Structure 1
Amino acid sequence: MRSNNKTKRPQGGTFNRNQTPPKQFKVTEGGELLLFLLDKLSPQGRNSIKSLLAHGQVSVDDRVEKLYNHPLKPGQIVTIRKDRTTVAPVLVGLKILFEDDDLIVINKDTGLLSIATEKETELTAYRQLTAHVRLHDPKNRIFVLHRLDRDTSGVMIFAKSERVQQKMQDGWKDIVKERMYVALVEGMVKKTQGTISSWLKETSTLKMYSSFTPNDGQHAVTHYKVIQANRNYSLLEVHLETGRKNQIRVHMQDLGHPIASDKKYGSKTKPFSRLGLHARVLAFEHPTSGQVMRFETDIPKQFLSQFREEPK
């Protein structure tokens, strides 16, 4: 299912003569958005300004921003509109493949965080989708079902309620019917298909590694098949039987063919600035309808470009 998008999102707002012209302020020093607005809109009260944010009436550099603690940088332009209009923020680094009352399925680009840690305040898939669902109701939320590493691209699902999140996480192994990645790895993988099984553990520096002692860590099973290969790289189709942190990256290192550009897990080459890993296919049973849904994305062109015929 490459394109089954029920959502029609407006790409921007229009301004007519009957609307009140927006107010604009230039940021001169760093700080949080709410404090900036309290200063610029004084004597307007805190609750009134929070309402402006909740209703999508505040933009930073033309992007609707609803987070009170959004960090501002000098030179940015903050715009406040008097009229409540439904303006969809432009989505950066992701594309919505499907959306209904229960789920949002996206194709995430490399470089975009799935969700931020406590120390990170940058743009994430989670934050953008939260703003997206709050266009219809400021109380709407989204819930994380699984994650992709920042430098891994591909298909992800988010739940739109805690009920759906709980149901899918509790039955994840049965609900998810297919989870297939493509990996560009170093060297020619001679065995055309195989399975890697180990127990994954984590060091104090948060790096995962394999133990081959039964039950010494979290059991991880990865199946692979060679799609294409030359003397420098192999393109693999990788199916996950389990979904552990950094599982494919560790198992490819165990295989002796680390993922391209993955210095953390043994790569010696860097054919491009991203990680050579893409979540290509995700199929699952819909939590409400029971229908099996399958989403497939293209193999990144950067991966395929490593197999162009060399000049004779």
Structure 2
Amino acid sequence: MDKTCYQLQQSIDAAHQGLLLREYLKKEMHISRRMLSAIKYKGGHLQVNGEEKTVRHVLQDGDILTITMPPEVPSDFLVSEEMPLDIVYEDDFFVIVNKQAGIPVIPSHQYPSGTLANGLLAYFEKENLASTVHIINRLDRNTSGLMLVAKNRFSHERFFKMQKRKEIHRRYLAFVQGTLSNDEGLIDAPIGRREGSAIERTVDWRAGRRSITQYKVLKRFPDCTLVAVRLQTGRTHQIRVHFASMGNPLLGDDLYGGPAERIERQALHSFELRFIHPFTGVPFHLHAPYPEDMARLVNLSIELKKI
């Protein structure tokens, strides 16, 4: 059975009568030149009232435009592997997954299989989608929480532009070692690679890239502090490096000096995701509950939706 290519259908109104199809696709559908080229030459279709048309076709009031995206072929290094997925939301455009700690997001030399992308590809194949996996926001292997994944390249392009405009908002929960004296704060310190390491990052005032982390203390405990964190930039290991640089590494984060006696991974959870649906305009505001290993650290009774 042939896999299903993603289709988008639009009804043309009087305000757009007389426009060339090319102009409508660019101005109203925000389809890039690269995407249009893929539709035209890589197996996609442009149809008006069920008939194939070129981009020079003149649109009329009441026309029904159907755009069929070309089939997508996964990269050679990505193979499908069935695995349990905690899917919080799904529609024709994207899925939102609550990722467990310990699962890498994409294959690498260190983790060639068993990643979230492998599991999502198997899920897409089960849905008979002619698509591959488009990760919008990555999380470290040992970070849990909400992840946004586009189901086709058209959706991915929209979300990529939203990310650049900072229209996708995320917040994290973190347990940091010790006590933070301020109830809230801003960490503005550049981050770069640690010399001699392919993995570690460090605050580097000479060659690092500007990195800004905003935090709010939720609750103080005798030996640690629970904080809600919002990123203004998205550097690798940003939250972990910034709090470690203050002398307050995350619990369980032995890479950056955090104590590992009470939790076996960095105590970091992406608990909130907020954005406007790029196709329907519907506001999305989702929360992921505390993961069990973080909840066991203390008696957590804070309601996430009120943070």
Q: After superposition, where does 1:243-258 map in structure 2 within 5 Å?
A: 243-258=234-249
| 1:106 counterpart residue number | 97
Distance 1:168-1:69 versus aligned 2 partners, 3 A rule: closer
Which residue number corresponds to residue 205 of structure 1?
Answer: 197
Give TM-score, length-normalised by structure 1.
Answer: 0.66
- Provide closer, same or farther for how the CA distance between residues 175 and 199 of structure 1 changes in structure 2, counting only shifts above 3 A: closer
State the match for 1:282 in structure 2.
273
Tell me the residue number matched to 2:254: 263
Structure 1 gap segments, 5+ residues each = 1-65, 72-88
**Amino acid aligned to 1:264:** L
Task: Quote how far apart the aligned CAs of 1:186 are.
Answer: 0.8
**In the alignment, what sits opposite 1:80?**
none
What one-letter code is carried by the residue in structure 2 that aligns with 1:248? I
2:113 alignment partner in structure 1: 122
Q: What is the CA distance between 1:279 and its match in structure 2?
A: 0.3
Query: Compared with structure 1, are the counterparts of its residues 258 and 295 closer, same or farther at alpha carbon in structure 2 (3 Å cutoff)?
Result: same
Runs (5+) with no aligned partner, structure 2: 1-73, 301-307
User: Kindly tell me: are residues 68 and 245 of structure 1, through their superposed partners in 2, closer, same or farther at Cα, counting changes over 3 Å?
Assistant: closer
Q: Given the superposition, is the C-alpha separation of residues 221 and 175 from structure 1 closer, same or farther in structure 2, using an over 3 Å criterion?
A: closer
Q: CA RMSD in A?
A: 2.7
Residue deviations 1:181-232 (CA, integer Å, cap 9, x gap): 000111122221111011111134121111235xx32211101111111221
Q: CA deviation at 1:151?
A: 0.5
Once the two structures are TM-superposed, the CA of residue 167 in structure 1 deviates from its matched residue by 2.3
How far the C-alpha of 1:308 sits from its partner, in A, is 4.4
Query: Kindly tell me: are residues 121 and 234 of structure 1, through their superposed partners in 2, closer, same or farther at Cα, counting changes over 3 Å?
Result: same
Distance 2:158 2:128 in 1: 23
Partner of 2:127: 136
- Give the number of equivalent residue pairs: 225
Residues 157-196 of structure 1: pairs in structure 2 closer than 5 A? 157-174=148-165, 176-196=167-187
- CA positional deviation for 1:294: 1.3
The Cα offsets for residues 22-46 of structure 1, whole Å up to 9 and x where unpaired, read as: xxxxxxxxxxxxxxxxxxxxxxxxx
After TM superposition, the structure 1 stretch with the greater mean CA deviation from structure 2, 161-170 or 221-230, is: 161-170
Instruction: Among all aligned residue pairs of Structure 1 and Structure 2, give the percentage whose two residues are the same amino acid.
Output: 27
Name the residue aligned to 1:91. 83
SS across alignment from 1:176? coil
How far is 1:173 from its partner?
A: 4.1
TM-score, length of structure 2 as denominator length: 0.67
CA distance in structure 1 between the aligned counterparts of 2:77 and 2:159, rounded to whole angstroms: 31
- Whichever residue aligns with residue 243 of structure 2, its letter is M
Q: 2:286 is aligned with what amino acid? A: F
Which residue of structure 2 lines up, in the alignment, with residue 31 of structure 1? none
Q: Equivalents in 2 of 1:304, 1:133: separation in Å? A: 32
